[in-house]
Structure 1
Amino acid sequence: MRIHTRRIFSILLAAFLLVSCSEQDRPATPAPDSATLNFYNWEDYILLELITEFEKTTGIKINLYTYKDEDDILAALQSGLSGVDLVVVSDNIVLELQQAKLLQELDPVLIPNLANAKAHPYFFAPHGDEIVAAPYMLGTGGVIVNSEHVPDDANSWDVLWNPAYKGRIAMLDNSMDVINAGFKSLGYSINTEDPEQIEAMRDRLLAQRPLLAGYYDPVTIVSKMASGELWAAQLYNGDAMAAVESNPALRYFVPVEGASIWVDCLVVPRNAPHPDAAQRFINYLHDPSVMARNAEYLWYQPVNLPAIDLLPAEIRNAPEVFPPREVQNRCEHVEPISPESMRERLAAWAELRTAK
Structure 2
Amino acid sequence: MKRLFSLLVGILAVCALLAFSANRLQTKSGDSGTKVLNLYNWGDYIDPALITKFEKESGYHVNVETFDSNEAMFTKIKQGGTSYDLTVPSEYMIEKMKAAHLLQPLDKSRLTGMSNLDARFTNQSFDRNNKYSVPYFWGTLGIVYNDKFIKPGEISHWNDLWKSKYRNDIMLVDSTRDIMGFSLVSMGKSVNTTNPATLRAAQHKLDQLSPNVKAIVADEIKMYMADNEAPIAVDWSGEASEMISNNAHLHYVVPSEGSNLWFDNLVIPKTAKHYDAIYAFLNFMLKPENAAQNAEYVGYATPNKKAKVLLPASIRNDKQFYPPSSTIQNLEVYSDLSPKTIGLYNDLYLEFKMHTH
TM-score range, shorter chain: 0.7 to 0.9
Instruction: Identify, as 1 or 2, the structure richer in helix.
Output: 2
Alignment of structure 1 residues 133-282 onto 2, 5 Å: 133-153=133-153, 154-217=155-218, 219-282=219-282
Partner SS, residue 342 of structure 1: helix
Q: Indicate if the aligned counterparts of 2:257 and 2:327 stay in contact, CA closer than 8 A.
A: no
Secondary structure of the residue aligned to 1:112 is coil
TM-superposed deviation, 1:64: 1.4
Secondary structure of 1:234's counterpart equals strand
Aligned counterpart, 1:96: 96
Kindly provide the CA deviation profile for residues 18-62 of structure 1, in whole angstroms up to 9, marking residues without a partner as x: xxxxxxxxxxxx531111212121222111100011111222111
The answer to whether the 8 Å contact 2:169/2:214 transfers is yes
Q: Structure 1 counterpart of 2:229, which letter? A: E
Deviations 1:216-258 (A, max 9, x none): 22x3212111111011011111221221222222110012331
- In the alignment, structure 1 residue 72 sits paired with structure 2 residue 72: yes
Query: Using a 3 Å threshold, how does the CA distance of structure 1 residues 143 and 93 change in structure 2: closer, same or farther?
Result: same
Q: CA deviation at 1:93?
A: 1.2
The one-letter code matched in structure 1 to 2:119 is H
Distance in 2 between residues matched to 1:47 and 1:210, nearest whole Å: 41
Deviations 1:113-169 (A, max 9, x none): 22322x532114544567211111111110101122123221112343344333331
SS of the residue 2:109 aligns to: coil
Question: Shift in Å at residue 345 of structure 1?
Answer: 0.6
Q: How far apart are the structure 2 equivalents of 1:39 and 1:291?
A: 17
Query: SS at 1:233's partner residue?
Result: strand
**1:135 partner letter:** P
Q: How many residues align?
A: 326
Q: Name the counterpart of 1:22.
A: none
State the distance in 1 between where 2:203 and 2:109 align: 48
Q: Secondary structure at the match of 1:293?
A: helix
Q: What residue in structure 2 maps to residue 107 of structure 1?
A: 107
> What 5-or-longer segments of structure 1 have no aligned partner?
1-29
Is 2:171–2:221's contact at 8 Å kept on the other side of the alignment? yes
- Return the index of the structure with the highest Cα Rg: 2
- Residue type of the partner of 1:323? P
Tell me by how many angstroms 1:352 deviates: 2.9
Is the contact made by 2:111 and 2:279 (CA closer than 8 Å) also made in structure 1?
Answer: yes
Instruction: Please name the residue that 2:36 is paired with.
Output: 36
Does 2:324 align with 1:324? yes
Distance 1:229 1:265, change over 3 A: same
Report what 1:6 is aligned to: none
| Change in 2 beyond 3 A, CA 1:279/1:353 | farther
- Asked if 2 retains the 8 angstrom alpha-carbon contact of 1:137 and 1:264, the reply is yes
Rounded to whole Å, the distance in 1 between the matches of 2:168 and 2:38 is: 43
Q: Which amino acid aligns with 2:122?
A: F
Give the whole-Å Cα distance in 1 for the aligned partners of 2:31 and 2:76.
Answer: 18
Return the alpha-carbon distance in structure 1 between the equivalents of residues 44 and 295 of structure 2: 12
* 1:74 Cα offset (Å): 1.8
| Residues 35, 59 of structure 2: 8 Å contact kept | yes
Matched residue, 2:20 = none
Contact 2:143-2:254 at 8 Å conserved across structures: yes
Whole-angstrom CA distance in 2 between matches of 1:83 and 1:312: 38
1:158 alignment partner AA: N
Flag the 1:129–1:121 CA change in 2: closer, same or farther, 3 A.
Answer: closer
Distance 1:43 1:127, change over 3 A: closer
Identity among equivalent positions (%) equals 30
Separation in structure 2 between the aligned mates of residue 151 and residue 305 of structure 1, nearest angstrom: 33
Q: Equivalents in 1 of 2:263, 2:46: separation in Å?
A: 15
1:79–1:206 Cα change, 3 Å: farther
Structure 2 gaps of 5+ residues are 1-29
Counterpart CA distance in 2 for 1:224 and 1:290 is: 33
CA distance in 1, matches of 2:164, 2:129: 50
Q: 2:119 — aligned with what?
A: 120
Aligned to 1:21: none
Tell whether the 8 Å contact from 2:142 to 2:236 is kept in structure 1 after alignment: yes
Structure 1 CA distance for aligned equivalents of residues 97 and 259 of structure 2: 24
In structure 1, how many angstroms separate the alpha carbons of the residues matched to 2:75 and 2:167?
37
- Contact 1:124–1:263 (Cα < 8 Å) also in 2: no
Specify the code of the residue in structure 1 equivalent to 2:157: S
Identify if the C-alpha distance between structure 1 residues 77 and 206 changes in structure 2 by more than 3 Å, giving closer, same or farther.
farther
